Chain A
């Protein structure tokens, strides 16, 4: 199986090299531009951006109200925005309601807020199962929810994007916004994880 895996990657790597070199030759693009985009996604965008939004919402009730009303406008206050997101709805997780996001048709995801999605988010298993048996999927991923908790699955197949606002963990009363942002995981903003109570010992 791992042998087949390597063969597959080899032909795709070779074909990619052929396409990129030809696009350079005919002047459609310059590989330096592509390098810059790679750098942007590796270094500049990612879940730390979303974590800033979440932490601010926890400490600033007025910001939270604006975020819930118009997610993109509130993110713009923090200088956050970009392609692939034209309207952002924020979903607040509570003790009674748990929100979780998927795209069953492709892999729509709020790139400017969370960066690029992880492989599992794009996998056939997640896309096929989350809308039908989320309790079971979340349990397998390490998040067990009581039957009393209402699960809301958001299948984001339009151009509206979704960000989950996780519950603020216990034990964080004394932390400031920057310290809180450090605690917010990508998975909690997709809705497949809770944040653990804070003990001051670090993750």
Chain B
């Protein structure tokens, strides 16, 4: 989807602010959200592509304001609610009770709680590489064009490369899961991933490209197509 998460090339965010003394976790709540997510990752509740896509579905203003682990909190809550594991209504009530300083908290109650998960309902979190053979369509040195696609769901093809021509730098010939479909449980569609090299001029135009700059990006086979022989990278 064309969302605020797809940030490559955007203007307006100002300088990169660095805190040289930053701890591993800046806030305690952030550490709890991140590490609870790590625990739940192992329980078969979601897959990582789905989790990433859930973050993309945030309202753009919330995405920008809630901070990094705030996005993870959003995704956790939404997927747990959708899976009938923990409802947003239960969370809202607990928030209200904690906020009011109540000593007695209402126990969780869900009319159709789906916990513990049945084995057939569990999903693998990661494992993007599979031990099966795939035959790459494209080869190192080949000119390829990034497909001009704008899918409304999850995709890992960035806006700033769509329609642009680059050169295959490396063929990662392992069988990789295609995130665009797995995020929606529409199959793993195993395929190679290519590292494609683009000149800055190709991506940003002669007028604004920085000198002597190349951008490398990893693209699934379904994201690229052969470019004409006459196409030049720069």
A interface, CB within 8 angstroms of B: 8-9, 12-23, 25-29, 33-35, 37-38, 41-42, 46, 83-84, 86-87, 89, 104-107, 115-116, 118-120, 122-129, 131-137, 140-141, 147-160
Q: Which residues of B contact A147 (CB under 8 A)?
A: 211-212
CB-based contact B218/A158 at 8 Å: yes
Q: What per-residue 1/0 map shows which CB atoms of B17-54 lie under 8 Å from chain A?
A: 11100101111110111111011110100000000100
B73 within 8 A of A: yes
Inter-chain contacts of B99 with A (CB < 8 A): 14
- A13-B27, A28-B85, A159-B129 known; 14 new pairs, CB 8 Å cut-off, are A8-B67, A12-B73, A17-B98, A19-B77, A23-B86, A28-B43, A34-B35, A89-B195, A104-B8, A120-B18, A128-B13, A134-B213, A157-B218, A160-B218
Min distance, Cβ B138 to any Cβ of chain A, angstroms: 15
Is A28 in contact with B86, judged by CB distance below 8 angstroms? yes
B149 at interface (Cβ–Cβ under 8 A)? no
Give every chain B residue within 8 A of A123 (Cβ-Cβ). 13, 16-17
B210 to A, closest residue via Cβ: A135
Option from B10, B32, B73, B91 in Cβ contact (under 8 Å) with A34: B32
The answer to whether B35 touches A38 (Cβ under 8 A) is yes
> A28: which B residues are within 8 A, CB to CB?
40, 43, 85-86, 115
Tell me whether A134 and B28 are in contact (CB under 8 A): no
Q: Which residues of B contact A (CB under 8 A)?
A: 5-19, 22, 24-29, 31-36, 38-41, 43, 52, 55, 64-70, 73, 76-77, 85-86, 90-91, 94-95, 98-99, 105, 107-108, 113, 115-116, 126-129, 156, 158, 160, 170, 172, 174, 176-177, 193, 195, 203-204, 208, 210-220
Taking the closest CB of chain A, its distance from the CB of B117, in whole angstroms, is 10
Residues of A close to B11: CB separation below 8 A: 128
B159 to chain A, nearest CB (A): 9
How far, in angstroms, from A107 to B113 measured CA to CA in the complex? 33
The reply to whether B214 and A37 contact each other, CB–CB distance below 8 Å, is no
CB <8 Å contact, B10 and A87: no
CB distance from B77 to the nearest CB of A (A): 7
Q: Is the CB of A155 within 8 A of B8?
A: yes
